[in-house]
A and B are shown apart, each in its own frame.
Chain A
Amino acid sequence: QSALTQPASVSGSPGQSITISCTGTSSDVGGYNYVSWYQQHPGKAPKLMIHDVSNRPSGVSNRFSGSKSGNTASLTISGLQAEDEADYYCSSYTRSRSWVFGGGTKLTVL
């Protein structure tokens, strides 16, 4: 149950687009479409942003999008806004019927 691999930090200016990667194996990310992304502001509970690789829950801005290629999933945020500054985590179902999160990525809006 090794954590999925995410970059520790990414940054971008307002209005720009950024992409956060999430790399796993064929036993998790590559083997299932149960990949989700969560946003967490300091001191707050995580919020679901993307589920099933690329689906947005109701109420989540269409500036957030997800995709997957092989063992790597990606979260793209377009038109960066100050309120997007937060920690982002990917998650995947695994072959052992457990779940696994990525190590998290701190997004800084410059």
Chain B
Amino acid sequence: EVQLVESGGGLVQPGGSLRLSCAASGFTFSSYWMHWVRQAPGKGLVWVSRLNLDGSSTTYADSVKGRFTISRDNAKNTLYLQMNSPRAEDTAVYYCAREGIVGATDYWGQGTLVTVSS
């Protein structure tokens, strides 16, 4: 069974840092591109970032470019999102998702809540 389990969320101060993790199981993690998508409370889905198979190619939404870094450890079957200098508007549930079909994410985790506040 495919499973994606996010962790690392919590309260972080503006300008601080936080690293989210997404543990993958039930599939060959190194064979899939991976994504982070976020959802502010009561709001819609917003795409954040995408990473290729070996971590050498990344894409980011303009809103997080230069502040967030997506990475992966294929030996640990884990996807990461390093959040530096977070802002209040980064407060959201962060989902990791597998791009199981080119152009679509077929499995999603349950999300981890990040709250940016002083």
With A48-B105, A52-B101 known as contacts, the answer to whether A101 contacts B45 (CB < 8 A) is: yes
A64 located at the interface, meaning its Cβ lies under 8 Å from any Cβ of chain B in the complex? no
Q: How large is the interface on A (under 10, 10 to 19, 20 to 34, 35 or more residues)?
A: 20 to 34
With A34-B103, A45-B108, A46-B108 known as contacts, the answer to whether A97 contacts B59 (CB < 8 A) is: yes
User: Which residues from chain B contact A3 at a C-beta distance below 8 Å?
Assistant: 44, 46
A36 located at the interface, meaning its Cβ lies under 8 Å from any Cβ of chain B in the complex? yes
Interface size for B (C-beta < 8 A) is 23
Do residues A48 and B104 form an inter-chain contact, with CB atoms below 8 A?
yes
Q: How far is the CA of A52 from the CA of B46 in the complex (A)?
A: 19
Q: How far is the CA of A55 from the CA of B70 in the complex (A)?
A: 29
Question: Which of A57, A97, A98 meets B101, CB within 8 Å?
Answer: A57
B interface with A by C-beta (< 8 Å): 35, 37, 44-47, 50, 59-63, 95, 101-106, 108-111
